[in-house]
A and B are shown apart, each in its own frame.
Chain A
Amino acid sequence: MDVLIQIILNSVIAGSIYALAAMGFNLIYGVSRSFNLAHGVFASVAVYAVFFLAVQHAILLPIAIALGIFVAVFLGYVLERSIFRPLRAKRASNLVLLIASLGASIVVEALIAIFFSSQFQTLSSVVPSFGAVRIFGGVLTGVQVVMIVSAPLVLALFWLMLSHTRFGKAVRAVSDDEEVAKIVGINTNAIIGVVFMIGAGVMGVAGILTGFDTGLDPRMGFLLLLGAAIASIIGGTGNVYGAFLGAFILGFAENFGVFFVSGEWKYAIAFSVLILFLLFRPQGILGKK
């Protein structure tokens, strides 16, 4: 019984991190209509910034975290301005955008490996130990509680933003049809730029939390991106709420897969779920046909 509860908790932890990664990913997909494979690097740069500041230079953790998120947001802005906007202006195909984003991801990952080595590092020397929380015989650490709380919190913030602000209305308009949005006077480039920064910031949070939880290496961003992409497709590409749902389905599928089958099947299970959705419900759970 204890085992089952722990597996459920583990699924929720994994689902929460995937949710944070996938919501930003889907928000960006919604407005830009292209898979941003560089989304993972926002997580890596944020957590490596925290590592650099807090572990290597003993800067206060809250300041390091704030700067880490800022670095991710800034990189989101830079990538949008220097790669995606020029390519959009040239009416580049989705394939070109996809490859360009993959290229950007590989470049940033390589730079991180050059500066910090590709060895696994931990933040354990600076993470405050909140102790562990026991729930029906299962265990959660403080960091994991923060993860589980922040996913629905970000979802609520996204909902508030999308349905109750002028900016959110504009985002939805751009998602529906960028051309029409432009015609009615929305500065679509500015909207897309801000959405990139928001998505990057949320991904930065996901990266920092993962770093606190398990540790960091340059490839972690790419693995988070894989989870985010799968969750988005399951939930419905471009739909922020679908991403949230898809993330938890993925988290449960992976962890129960480990429980019922074996750890070596984790990725096979994740991608099987993806293929099943692509075959039978390609628009995802909440996606429109």
Chain B
Amino acid sequence: MNKTWLAIGAIVVLGLIVWGVSSMGGKSADTSTGPIKVGVIVPLTGDAAVYGEPGRNITQLAVDEINAAGGINGREMELIVEDGKCNGQDAASATQKLVNVDKVQVIIGAFCSGESLAAVPVAASGKVAMISPGSSSPKLTDVSPYFVRNYPSDATQGSVLANIAYTDKGYKKIAFIQEQTDYAAGVYTAFSNVFSGLGGTVTNEAFPTETSDFRSIISKVKGQNPDAVFIDTQTPAVTGRILAQMEQLGWKPKLFVSDILPGDTKTVEAHKAILEGTLAAEVGVDPSNPKFAALLVAYKAKYGVELPFQSYAQTEYDSVYLVRDAILAVGNDGTKVAAWLHTVKDWQGAAGSVTIGTNGDPVAGHRPEVIMAGKPVPYVK
């Protein structure tokens, strides 16, 4: 009796393994004639939805333009948008769904670094290409042949700011207040490596994402008397909470913020007094670029509001066109699209000239900015 059950059990387990393996690996390239499905993973709930919603709108806008111009070789492009909730767990299950249920060959995203880090292995095992327009953690550099990004690594954000802090400003001691996410940790590591290399010291107070009471962290940092404080959070809402509590405690230190903040006009405007003179490094936009200018007009016309988070908007917009060009060149096949994306050189988009290196990172960087009267302006020494 026992042996019979064991045998049945073994068959069931074996069957599951075979089914699992076949459903993961056995996909063939898309040869049908219906719309070409492309996956999108952005955060649509939580504090990070402030990026995800415009992200979804912009990718949809680009797809509508492409379809209006005849699609890809006569086939329409269709987006399947999933909510990655800015965390690895939800992004991984969103990727599972896109790869195994929707059978997409290309995924645009994910947006948050934590999402991408978890999604890449899932996409790679399903031989699906990913292009992220927003994930900037240095850990994503050369992470997989199936992953590229057209948004630069935070390694440059960290080094640009560390050099300004040490060389231009003469700061010797910087205190980080860092949210415990992959993106924020990446900014901290990049900054800290360069700044300590120059001879400065960096302290770090990390906190879990759901923290809302920062008073004791702020009081402690204040007591350490740093030359400047680097507020390094995943979302503008959290930076806003920290700024509000600094204001309550009547402390106005010299500040650095990560590149999530300058694009959030609402938070910057609300805290412009304490943010005056704050340094940040963003990818930056070029309004004289006709493609970017056209995106500004098209977004306003379609959604009725100014284009938010413009540094991300340009890469999100470009990522759709990069995917179109890849599919035009090599067909809707994850492996081939991923290989093509690794060879992009001097491609012209809303973000200007795009070149992607063999490590999957764009050859471009962050430009320093300073917040003046509630607006980010280019930094001059």
Contact = CB atoms under 8 A, between A and B. Distances in A.
Q: Tell whether A and B belong to one assembly.
A: yes
Interface of A: 2-3, 6-7, 10-11, 13-14, 113, 117-120, 122, 124, 132, 139, 141, 210, 214-215, 217, 219-220, 223, 254-255, 258-259, 262-264, 266-267
Interface stretch (B54-62, B107-115, B214-222): B214-222
Given A3-B219, A219-B210, A266-B211, 11 more contacts: A2-B223, A3-B222, A6-B216, A6-B222, A7-B220, A11-B216, A118-B49, A139-B250, A223-B212, A258-B216, A263-B211
Contacts of B180: 264
A10 B250 contact: no
Given A120-B241, A139-B248, A214-B245, A264 B207 contact: yes
A132 B220 CA distance: 19
B347 to A, nearest CB: 35
B85 to A, nearest CB: 9
A3 B215 contact: no
A214 B237 contact: no
Contacts of A122: 240, 244
Contacts of A13: 213, 215
A113 B215 contact: no
B205 A10 contact: no
Given A124-B244, A139-B249, A119 B47 contact: yes
Contacts of B220: 3, 7, 258-259
Contacts of B29: none
9 contacts: A7-B216, A7-B219, A14-B213, A214-B241, A214-B244, A217-B212, A262-B205, A263-B211, A266-B211
Interface string B152-178: 000000000000000000000000010
A120 B240 CA distance: 10
B50 interface: yes
B206 interface: yes
A210 B210 CA distance: 14
Contacts of B289: none
Contacts of A118: 45-46, 49
Q: For A6, A7, A220, A255, which residue has the most chain B Cβ atoms within 10 angstroms?
A: A6
Contacts of A210: 212
A105 to B, nearest CB: 16
B208 interface: yes
A134 to B, nearest CB: 9
A255 B210 CA distance: 16
Nearest to A219: B210
B266 to A, nearest CB: 11
B223 A119 contact: no
B262 to A, nearest CB: 19
A3 B216 CA distance: 9
Q: Of residues A124, A215, A223, A264, which shows the largest number of chain B Cβ atoms within 10 Å of its Cβ?
A: A264
Given A3-B219, A220-B212, A258-B216, A263 B207 contact: yes
B208 A6 contact: no
Contacts of A120: 47, 237-238, 240-241
A49 B223 CA distance: 38
B208 A255 contact: no
Interface residues of B, number: 32
Contacts of A264: 180, 205-208
A21 to B, nearest CB: 14
Contacts of A14: 213
A267 B209 CA distance: 12
Query: Which residue, B206, B222, B244, B248, has most C-beta atoms of chain A within 10 A?
Result: B248
A210 B241 CA distance: 13
A80 to B, nearest CB: 28
Contacts of A132: 248, 250
Interface in B239-266: 240-241, 244-245, 248-250
Given A119-B237, A120-B237, A6 B206 contact: no
A258 B177 CA distance: 12
A117 B205 contact: no
Interface in B165-211: 177, 180, 205-208, 210-211
Contacts of B50: 119
B232 to A, nearest CB: 13
B249 A6 contact: yes
B250 to A, nearest CB: 5
Nearest to B249: A139
Given A3-B220, A263-B207, A214 B213 contact: yes
A217 B223 CA distance: 30
B237 A223 contact: no
Nearest to B205: A263
B213 A113 contact: no
Nearest to B207: A263
A266 B213 CA distance: 11
A267 B208 contact: yes
Interface in B10-49: 45-47, 49
Contacts of A141: 248
A98 to B, nearest CB: 22
A124 B237 CA distance: 14
A258 B217 CA distance: 6
A41 to B, nearest CB: 16
From B214, B220, B222, residue with most partner A Cβ within 10 Å: B220
Contacts of B205: 258, 262-264
